[in-house]
Structure 1
Amino acid sequence: MSVRERSSTARVIPPARPRKLAKVPFVELADGRLQGVVSSGSDIARVYVSSVAVGTFAFTCSTNNNRPCGGARGSFCKHIGSLITEAVLQYGAERVARYLKADTADAEPTAQGITAGMTAARPPQGDTAAAASVFSRFLRHLAYLELAPTTAPLPEMQWFPPTRAVA
């Protein structure tokens, strides 16, 4: 049995470039959105749950207490800008632009080019219903950081199919 077969962890694709987790600790391309958690610049105890929808670029930004972001009134706020920048660092600009279906004038897309392309499309304010599930997923990811490294299986990961047949 190989080390990989005995491990309870899955292989993670390395980020396109290293990123600092203090500002945007959680970013993902999931559920038809670029979504994540962004730290507040003014209050260490506050975070914002931000998202941008694929294709329409409908956006939302609210605190972890479900209060709307004061900067997201009719256009992207600084939290969404930070989210896009960190997504580009994590996944690469081409993948983010392709996922969001964002047209960029640049031959080589950048975070600024993606943001400008979506802003030009005049995105609407989106539905904040997804914020709770995004924040919940972020908290679940934080819980994994507290676990000691082990090769024992994790009960919540048992739904994964086995990598080889058991005799």
Structure 2
Amino acid sequence: MDLSTLLTAARTRCGVTVTSKKRALECLSEQLMADTDADPDTTRSIFEGLIVRERLGSTGLGRGVALPHTRSPDIEQPRAALLRLAEPIDFDAADRRPVDLLFALLVPEHSNDEHLRILSRLAEMFRDEALCAGLRACQSDQDLYDSVCGWRSGAPDG
């Protein structure tokens, strides 16, 4: 999976300050549309989709990582946003540890298999302790973007 097809430097932020899960999801919804001319209603709809998904169960993977995701009829291709928080927040993760790495995925409404395939690869990626440690050490948006896009797994398509 080539992350540069999902994520752009414009949708990557390092050292973000938020104080709650709700504010983090709001920030992610804004970042998901940061490099588009989307109207505020689209961004609000994405935020609401992320909230609805979190009500089904936390997307906190554990070890300080969360993968919030939702669908949208307003996009043609999957897109992502990445935040590294300045301070970890409670995200209701299964391991009860606070989250400081949030990778949000937005997929077209009709995308089913692709959505699951991407989430599976992202979960694999964020299980990589060396990657997560490297992301936490990043000092700029560009470093964060370069670090995550430079990740390669041992899998043939990674």
TM-score (norm 2): 0.25
* Bigger share in helix: 2
Find the structure with the greater CA-based Rg: 1
* Bigger share in strand: 2
Greater relative contact order, per chain length (Cα 8 Å cut-off, separation 6+) = 2
